[in-house]
Chain A
């Protein structure tokens, strides 16, 4: 018997074996729900392995538009015998358990609804050649779920059309299995659970994209000209997206030739070395990596800081230290990138909080890098980078490309006294020239060793201090230039939360729930480091401020404590570090626990 329906507000988790092709099925479900107009998010919780280990995919449908991971799973799909028992145990009371009926294990819970699915049988009966049957079998659960949850079949068709890029044969094959599974379910299953979906119009005007795809496209609109990279999870798909879209979007209108070059380097140190060379040469230059690669890049990152070379470095964070958890998300590189390299190195960091913002920072990063003549880090993470998000459409850049202070032949002709590291404007930013400049006074010798204002080698103590002070002044200029934080207030809030990056959906959801429970909080989402005055004001204007982040040591909390030493006692670190995307439940619980102390 069906009690009150639960519509558009639950989580689906699919437990499968990795390498079995389930990603196609999971994305098909997610996209079909999106096309039904229902806010939806999907997260791939996968092992560092190619084939044979357990993997899960969670899909959250939320009529209220909450896209964070949920702590609970109401609808479980068990396709993996190895995790059958644990998957069954994980279903929320009153939830649903779909399982492949060839797994001969007992249903032990009486507080959930269990539906068997004849996965092997339907796969065998399909037109699929034997070598594809294993993959196609995953479409069975798409069909069964579609019937039980009311997912529209034409939306599934639309998702398959997209996934297979309009190729008739695989579309027909997969769609056939979905249809057969739906028909089987209609004939053989009686719905006794309350969960279903219903079309809405809440996704109108949105697109679906991963942060890495968005970042790559943003870079292309930012005029990226040189990319050097080395494969590493979870950053690989950013470079691969550049390879995919650059040929489409970046043929020179004048000559039809390529206005870019991409090199897969021999390691990350070579990747950044090439990017530094290209940035110095006057190209909009980019490399993308994750923590272990960043460790290798450290040496050149410091040189780029000191020699003042613009380039953009994407760090798609995964769990460290060391090799850590290569396929699990984290925000553990905040301190690493902020201070990357020996000596008093300080870097400018962009903190995108959505796929859309990955696109925006994708192009803006070059303007900051060239304007400031320094490496700009874009700190994303596995959750934001690799998962597919519903996000507002990408917007064409609303400012002109800013190449910064570059002098060509005719400019030098008008300047008597040019020195590569002179600061004539007083903003800490010097003027640079680029190789190929034919003016006899245009050349200079760049180096990571001590140099004076004219780029000559110098070990003079005063010259050294002067240079480092100017770099600090430049960093202060950056402070005022970087994107301002985004603030979401609640009436009568006197406590605040500061967070950044992929935790945004969880924090917003927690903020709403806490307000409903009588604890209004203001929320500031940082979009860049170094922080600006608004951040200090926010900290000073709230009785207590929680800094929410996904690492062990509260790294952003440390930075903010240094920025507002007078309020350090009122800054509380709330950090979680288990490799899973943060949930609103955890944030609410952590804040309430503190507030009730």
Chain B
């Protein structure tokens, strides 16, 4: 008898079903569902066992999403705006795990701005996704802090305030991986997710993820139509796994490669003007220019693979802290006399 290898499995012998979550309860057409699908695809294609990954979220429509992917992963749906602290503590338990934090624009830059800033400053290894729709969905359609000035929403009037740009905040906040994408551009979302999952540090993904129920008017900056008509990709992005050949040859000056710690590479094929995502100094000018021209800039905006991650600062054993036996966490009996002697 010949056993046939199931062609529908990845290198760790799991099928896509093994990466699924519960059926979504978000609105049909919600951008967040598209992000969830790409997370499933990216993890499947990267051959990450679901048990090696931990999910975190705050509160809001975005933060419900982690139950719609990777059911075999541990997850913790925390408090509004406080996902970063929860993830910081939890990831210390086993630093070999991969973390995905799922947040929204309200969760991250309204109530959660403080923790967002500090988790970037600490460079916690975490894929921090902001499903950004400019609106509070779960409370039925109030302006969020990323809503553009002048946006009109049903029952809310016009937004009088200036918007917060998540990418801008991330760059200024010293995140070591900053990207923007658009839920209507699933291929780019997927490649960026793969790159982010290979990054050793905080990876902020600002993904414009339209709210079909409350903020999808064609002229809204967070709608599908606006995204389609205004998206300018900085580059065509391809993630090349470790030990795989780069299949496409580009002419000199047409592409740029970024080497990741795990041996994978990100290949960025030039689409328009030259853009170097390792150079922080020009980003704000570029974003400012794009704003003026009403362009939705997407792609890998900044990457720095040289910064130490949070865990590199702590001199921890290789074995996960949460598996250390009791004798390794209680000082030996003979130390108590020494301690008492130190007390005077």
Q: How far is the CA of A447 from the CA of B340 in the complex (A)?
A: 42
Question: Looking at A254, A273, A307, which has the most chain B CB atoms within 10 Å of its CB?
Answer: A273
Q: How far is the CA of A258 from the CA of B92 in the complex (A)?
A: 12
A149 within 8 A of B: no
Q: Are A249 and B51 in contact (CB under 8 A)?
A: no
Within B128-167, the residues touching A (CB, 8 Å) are none
Residues A281 and B328 in contact in the complex (CB < 8 Å), given A258-B315, A436-B322: no
Q: How far is the CA of A282 from the CA of B91 in the complex (A)?
A: 10
A277 within 8 A of B: yes
Q: How far is the CA of A397 from the CA of B339 in the complex (A)?
A: 14
* Chain A contacts for B96, CB-based, 8 A: 436
Instruction: Please pick, from B55, B82, B94, the residue contacting A436 in the complex, using a CB distance under 8 A.
Output: B94
Chain B: minimal CB distance from A311 (Å) = 9
B248 within 8 A of A: no
Q: Are B321 and A273 in contact (CB under 8 A)?
A: no
Q: How far is the CA of A228 from the CA of B90 in the complex (A)?
A: 12
Of B169-177, B203-211, B251-259, B329-337, the stretch lying at the interface with chain A is B329-337
- B-contact bits for A362-373, CB 8 A (1 contact / 0 none): 000000000000
Q: How far is the CA of A443 from the CA of B75 in the complex (A)?
A: 8
A276 within 8 A of B: yes
Instruction: Please pick, from A217, A259, A300, A434, the residue contacting B79 in the complex, using a CB distance under 8 A.
Output: A300
* Chain A contacts for B318, CB-based, 8 A: 255
Q: Are A273 and B85 in contact (CB under 8 A)?
A: yes
Q: Are A435 and B330 in contact (CB under 8 A)?
A: no
Residues A277 and B91 in contact in the complex (CB < 8 Å), given A255-B318, A442-B51: yes
A342 within 8 A of B: no
- B-contact bits for A134-163, CB 8 A (1 contact / 0 none): 000000000000000000000000010010
A551 within 8 A of B: no
* Chain A contacts for B51, CB-based, 8 A: 436-440, 442-443
- A-contact bits for B281-321, CB 8 A (1 contact / 0 none): 00000000000000000000000000000000011111111
Instruction: Please pick, from B90, B118, B326, B340, the residue contacting A278 in the complex, using a CB distance under 8 A.
Output: B90
Residues A281 and B324 in contact in the complex (CB < 8 Å), given A220-B331, A276-B86, A438-B51: no
Instruction: Please pick, from A254, A393, A395, the residue contacting B328 in the complex, using a CB distance under 8 A.
Output: A254
- Chain A interface residue number, banded: 35 or more
* Chain A contacts for B50, CB-based, 8 A: 443
Q: Are B71 and A257 in contact (CB under 8 A)?
A: no
Q: Are B93 and A401 in contact (CB under 8 A)?
A: no
* Chain A contacts for B108, CB-based, 8 A: none
Q: Are B89 and A281 in contact (CB under 8 A)?
A: yes
* Chain A contacts for B73, CB-based, 8 A: 443
Q: How far is the CA of A278 from the CA of B77 in the complex (A)?
A: 14
Residues A209 and B94 in contact in the complex (CB < 8 Å), given A440-B51, A445-B67, A448-B79: no
Q: How far is the CA of A257 from the CA of B118 in the complex (A)?
A: 26
* Chain A contacts for B94, CB-based, 8 A: 281-282, 434-436
A464 within 8 A of B: no
- A-contact bits for B86-103, CB 8 A (1 contact / 0 none): 111111111011000000
Q: How far is the CA of A322 from the CA of B318 in the complex (A)?
A: 44
Q: How far is the CA of A437 from the CA of B54 in the complex (A)?
A: 11
Mind listing 7 A-B residue pairs with CB under 8 Å?
A: A221-B336, A226-B89, A261-B321, A434-B322, A436-B94, A445-B66, A445-B67
Q: Which residues of B contact A (CB under 8 A)?
A: 49-52, 54-55, 66-67, 71-79, 82, 84-94, 96-97, 114-115, 117-118, 122, 314-324, 326-333, 335-336, 339-340, 343-344
